[in-house]
Amino acid sequence: MARLASPDTETAAKTPATRRRGELSNLQFALVVTVPVLVFLVLVIAYPLGYALNLSFHDIRFFGGYSATWVGLENYADVLSDERFWNGFLLTVRFTVETVLLTLGIGMALALVVRDLPPRWRWLRALIILPWAVSPYGAGIFFAYLGRGQTGVGTALANALGFDTSINFITQDLVVEFLALGAAWNMAPLVAFFLLANMLTTPPRLYDLAKLDRMSRFETFLYVTLPPLRFTLFVFTCIITVLSIKTFDYIFTATQGGPGSASSVLTYVLYRTSFQNLDLGYGAAMSFYLLALILISTGIIFFTWGRREARR
């Protein structure tokens, strides 16, 4: 026998649910969640960015008393004719490209090696993250000792082989490649950690099917292992690109922009301009070119790679 609904039940079913006293609406909840974040972003990002933009339109002087003279776009025009800026720009692009390629390559190799470890050695997977735990400051000091002729690993290996010679990697020709290798050593474990996690979600039956099709190791990697990793590789390409372009503390501790200006990337040129020469207006203008380089680089990566991944 069907149970008759009470009038109160029918009324509640026909009318929209009313909010309990003290319960927030969706709009109120959204405001409570987002407004503190927006205020924080304004204080931490927007205000310093606006202050730097204002500085870039002035000629700031400290000698003979503080003065700020409005010069408009003069600082931006002067940067484009500055040889130090273009040298730092080219070094930054070179360092970034090499760091990204080395980081992704080393990270992929590490992930493949630790993925196939026997069960009793799988505890080593937890240790691959250790180099990433080293701060860029510490990595700079470490690689400064490794690269110099007196204390470097090249000299130690040469002496172990019986050669009485010193091998210095911190030279005009090799310093950028050496710094890129050190940066990759520092960041590749994080890439490997995420790639490994992604690899472990690949169904084992796909590898069984690859064996049935008699695929080689390279074909198995290309058609089974790599496709699920493409989006992760895209994300880390963007992240490593940004981190490489704005790297300062690692290069400062490793080479201090030397020898000469062989490793004076844009961030180091900015440091010398703003904090050693105290030319804050000119340094602020240069910093916006650095910001533009970051935005353009990540934009190129997204439009040439990220959009294809989003459509998959």
The contacts of residue 183 (CB under 8 Å, 6+ apart) are 95, 99, 102, 103, 139, 244, 247, 250
- Beta strands (DSSP E) in the chain are 58-61, 67-70
Domain segments of the chain: what residues?
74-311
Q: Is 102 exposed, middle or buried (0-12, 13-18, 19+ CB in 10 A)?
A: buried
- Would you state the pLDDT for residue 120? 82
Residues of the chain under the 50 pLDDT cut: 1-4, 9, 11-17
> In angstroms, how far is CA 245 from the centroid of its own chain?
8
The contacts of residue 105 (CB under 8 Å, 6+ apart) are 184
The contacts of residue 205 (CB under 8 Å, 6+ apart) are none
Cα end-to-end span (Å), the chain: 54
- Would you state the pLDDT for residue 38? 81
Within a 10 A sphere around the Cβ of 117, how many other Cβ atoms?
12
User: What pTM does this model have?
Assistant: 0.85
For residue 276, give the DSSP letter: I
The model's pLDDT over 260-298, given as tens digits with 9 standing for 90+, comes to: 899 999 999 999 999 998 999 999 999 999 999 999 999
Residues 93, 266 contacting (CB under 8 angstroms): no
Quick one: tokens of 109?
A: 């190799």
Spell out the CATH class of 74-311.
Answer: mainly alpha
